[in-house]
Amino acid sequence: MTNVAGQAPGPKPGARDGATPPGTSLWMPADGRVKNVLLLADGEKPLVTENIGAVKELLAASCDRVEVRTNVREIQFDGSFALDDQPDLVVVLGGDGSVLTACRLFQNAPVATIGINYGRVGFLASLESSAWREGLTEVLEGRALVEQRMRLRATVLRGDGGGGTEGASAIAMNDVVISRGGTPSMAKFELISAGRAVTSYRADGLIFATPSGSTAYSLAAGGPILDPALRAIVLTPISAHALSHRPLVLGSRAVLEARVVDIAGAVTLDIDGRFVSELQGGDAVRLEACEDAYPLLTTRSFDPWQRLRDRLGWAGHFDGE
């Protein structure tokens, strides 16, 4: 599998024009050329259907092989998804959900991925649909930037306050959510860090988010926005009963356990919006930074702060200017 290569020197203090933004580096496959591309598309979006042919044509002019899949919403993660060749690059036409699908497909062997945004938000899909041609040209010519996005690994620990056997394990690009699901009453959770008790929560649930996921569910629940270049974990309680329970930001070296202490029914574990497992009283989830980051590509012209201003409705000035 082709991994990220071609590291560029970091920016000089104060450098702006032409400087590589902090947390990024130039991207190019190890052998210096993009050969195999997977074009993964949300074929249920009319604009995607209109443009997929032109996108494939541009890629095919420079690459040896372009494999197209237009059924991103129907992909099953049961081992049935197979490709003719391992791609050097994944190009996604869709929204952030489609990018998350690509990241999950290659979670064990990350492949550089760039998204063309045809969704509502586009925090992960960095290319605007109106500028996909310029953006992909930049990628193919070796002028694109790679952001190494931190991920979380969640492992279920069954019974005995989390001291029992290991259950399901999965990797999150955005967030790990432990919630009461359909149970009508709040659950009680305990948070442990490196074997030490942190606090207990009576809440509807807990959100553990990566910096990438800090603009998703965690933000809606009152969590902070983190620069995606950071390596940190955001813990945001969902409707905590105690007003003193505020979001926490922890270092990426933290090894956390969220224990289910008391619940009238079952608690659900969801990763990047997908159900993973049910949890019972006495079960726990261990959370830690994944060993490998996921390489998301972007362009020099992409301004994440501008996208935040646009998507979140930030005025930018209080004086009306």
Residue ranges of domains in the chain, CATH in brackets: 24-150+293-312 (3.40.50.10330), 152-289 (2.60.200.30)
User: Is residue 96 among the annotated active site residues?
Assistant: yes
Residue 74, φ and ψ in degrees, nearest 5: -100, 0
**How many CB atoms are closer than 10 A to CB 55?**
21
175 marked as binding residue: yes
**How many CB atoms are closer than 10 A to CB 61?**
9
| pLDDT for residue 11 | 39
Q: What digits encode the pLDDT tens for the residues 230-254? A: 999 999 999 999 888 999 999 999 9
| pLDDT for residue 320 | 53
97 marked as binding residue: yes
Calpha distance 123→136 (Å, rounded): 18
174 marked as binding residue: yes
Catalytic member of 42, 88, 96, 270:
96
Cα 6 to the center of its chain, rounded Å: 23
Cα 188 to the center of its chain, rounded Å: 27
165, with CB counted inside 10 A (0-12, 13-18, 19+), is exposed
| pLDDT for residue 14 | 38
Q: Work out the angle at residue 281's Cα, subtended by the Cα atoms of residues 278 and 283, and round it to the nearest 5 degrees.
A: 65
Return left, alpha or beta for 153; rule: phi > 0 is left, psi -120 to 50 is alpha, else beta. Answer: beta
Q: Is the distance from CB of 42 to CB of 48 less than 8 angstroms?
A: yes
Q: What digits encode the pLDDT tens for the residues 16-31? A: 445 667 778 889 887 7
Q: Is the distance from CB of 210 to CB of 233 less than 8 angstroms?
A: yes
153 marked as binding residue: no
pTM: predicted TM-score of the whole model, two decimal places? 0.87
Q: Where are the alpha helices (DSSP H) in 199-278?
A: 217-220
- Nearest alpha-carbon partner for 155 in 140, 174, 176: 176
Q: Is the distance from CB of 191 to CB of 255 less than 8 angstroms?
A: no
For residues 258-273, average pLDDT: 90
Calpha distance 286→219 (Å, rounded): 22
Beta strands per DSSP E along 141-283: 145-149, 152-157, 166-172, 175-179, 187-193, 196-203, 205-209, 232-238, 248-251, 256-262, 267-271, 274-279
- Asked which of 5-19, 98-112, 120-134, 217-231 is least confident by mean pLDDT, the reply is 5-19
- List residues bridging with 296 in a β-sheet: 113, 147
Instruction: Tell me: pLDDT of 52 over 70.
Output: yes
Range 5-9 contact pairs with CB under 8 angstroms and sequence separation of 24 or more:
5/29, 5/30, 6/142
